[in-house]
Amino acid sequence: MILIIGGGIGGLTLALNLHRAGIRCQVFESAKEIKPLGVGLNILPHAMRELSFLGLESNIAKDAIETRDVSFYNRFGQHIFTETRGRFAGYEWPQYSIHRASLHDVLMKAVYDRLGSDAIKKGHRFKELEQSNEGVVAHFNTEGSCPGVRTYRGCAIVGCDGIKSVVRSSFYEKNDPLIYSGITMWRGITKWPPFLSGSSMVYAGWLETGKVIAYPISKTDDGMHIINWLCEFYCPPRNPKGDWGQKGRIEDFIWSCKEMTFSWLNIPEMIKAAEVILEYPMVDKEPLKKWSFGRVTLLGDAAHPMYPRGSNGAGQSIIDARCLADNLTSECDEVTAFRKYESDRRPKTSAVVHANRSNPPDAILREVYERTGDKPFKELNDVISVDELEALSDQYKKIAGFKLEAVHNNKSPM
C-alpha cells in the first residue's frame, strides 16, 4: 500500500496511475471538505499526453477551452509575436485552459469511480512518519466525527502536499525558505465576451510597468467566456507567507494596466468586472539535492515548487506521477523505484525552476521592453527579428520538455 499525502492534482494523478498499474494506494487530504480553489491553469501537450493515457481527455474537454494560440503585445497594444498551440501546432495532444477546480473535480471523480468511495480520506492532516526495512507508519491529526490521532501503515509514502509540504519538512526542517521573486500577482476570473480567436492566450506589457495575462477557461450558455486573468509587477513583499487565498484590492494594481484599452480587449474594464480578486506573491524554493529518503519521496510542488510562469506547475506534477508509477511497476522494491524516479525527474524539474526565474516564455516581452526603452516601436523588425522571437520560445519549450518532437518521440514519461 502506497500512502499518498495530499489530494491535489499531483496526488490524485498518482493514485490513478498506481491503480492502472495494479498498485494499491490510499490518498490522505487535510481538508475536511474539498472546496473549489484557485483560478485558471493551462495543461500543455506533454501533460495532456499523460492525462489522455488515463482516459481523462473527454471529461477535461467538457469544461475547458482548447487553446489555439498565444500572442504577445507591448503595453501600447502593438503586436509582437503569435504562435499556435497544441493540436493547432501539430501536436498529437491538445493544450487546454481550465479552472483549477474543474480539473481537480475530474481527477477526484475518476479516483472515486476507479478506486472506490474510501479512496480519499479527508480531514487527515499529516503529522509525522516512521520508516523501517519493513515499511512506513504515518500519523495524522484527524477532524470530523472522531477527532484525534490516527495511524496508518504502508510500504511507502509519497509527499504530494504542496509548497508548504509537511512531508518535505520532515527532512528539511531548516534552511528551506520560500523565496520571494520581487513580483506580486493579482488574479481573478471575469465573465466577458470572446476576444481574438476566441481561444487565444494573451500576454501584454512587462513587469516594470505591469504585465497582464488573459485567456478563456470555459464557455457560458449565452455565448460569453469565463476569462482567467493575471496582473503582476515588481513590488515589495505584501504577502510573505505565500498564501493563495488572500483577497486582493483592485486599487492596489489597476493603475498598472489602465492604458491597456485595446480594440479587441479592454483590460481595465474586464478586471473591474471580476467578482473576486486574489493576491499572492510569486515564490518558489531552491531546488533540492535529494527528494527520496528510503521509503519516502516527494512529488509536485512538495518536490519542486516553481514560479507560476510557463504553464508548467501542474503539468510537471502530472508527469512526475506517471514517471513514479512506471518506476514502481518496473522495479522490484520501492526504494530503488524512488531512486530511479528522482534521478529522472529531479534534474529536469530543477531546470524548469531555474528557467522560470531567468528565462520564462514571456522573456519575449522583456526583450522588447528593454530594446525599446518602454516606447512604441515603428517597425518590429528594427527591434527584434522573427528568428529571435522563435528562438526565445523554443528555448523554454526545450527546457520544460514540450517541444513537439520531444513530446511525440518520448512516449514514456519525460
Higher-confidence position of 26 and 144: 26
Q: Is residue 167 part of a domain?
A: yes
43, 103 contact by CB (below 8 A): yes
pLDDT tens-digit series, residues 249-290: 999 999 999 999 999 999 999 999 998 899 989 999 999 999
* Residue 304 resides in a domain: yes
Parent domain of 312 = 2-37+101-177+288-358
* Single-letter code of the amino acid located at 85: R
Within a domain: residue 252? no
Q: In angstroms, rounded to a whole number, what is the distance separating the alpha carbons of residues 373 and 59? A: 46
Give dist(CA 13, CA 279) in Å, integer. Answer: 27
Q: Check pLDDT > 80 for residue 240.
A: no
How far is CA 379 from its chain centroid? 36
Q: Number of helices (H) and strands (E), helices first, in the chain?
A: 11, 18
Q: What is the pTM of this model?
A: 0.95
Q: How far apart are CA 246 and CA 31, in angstroms?
A: 18
- Specify the pLDDT at position 42: 96
* 268 falls within a domain: no
How many domains does the structure of the chain reveal?
1
pLDDT at 347 over 60: yes
Grid cell 479552472 in the structure block, residue: 99
Amino acid at 393: S
Does any domain span residue 29? yes
Tell me, yes or no, whether 74 lies in a domain: no
Check whether 412 has a pLDDT greater than 60.
Answer: no
CB 302 within 8 A of CB 284: no
What mean pLDDT is predicted for residues 391-397?
90
Q: Write down the mean pLDDT value for the chain.
A: 94
Q: What is the pLDDT of residues 144-198, one digit of tens each?
A: 767 889 999 999 999 999 999 999 999 998 889 999 999 999 999 999 999 999 9
3-state secondary structure at position 74: coil
Mean pLDDT of 36-42: 84
pLDDT at 402 over 60: yes
Is 352 part of any domain?
A: yes
Cross-strand pairs, 154: 136
**What CATH number does residue 309 fall under?**
3.50.50.60
Those residues with Cβ within 8 angstroms of residue 116's Cβ, 6 or more apart along the chain or in another chain: none
Name the pLDDT band for 414 (thresholds 50, 70, 90). Answer: very low
Nearest-5° angle of CA 238, CA 265, CA 363?
55
To the nearest whole percent, how much of the chain has pLDDT over 90?
Answer: 84
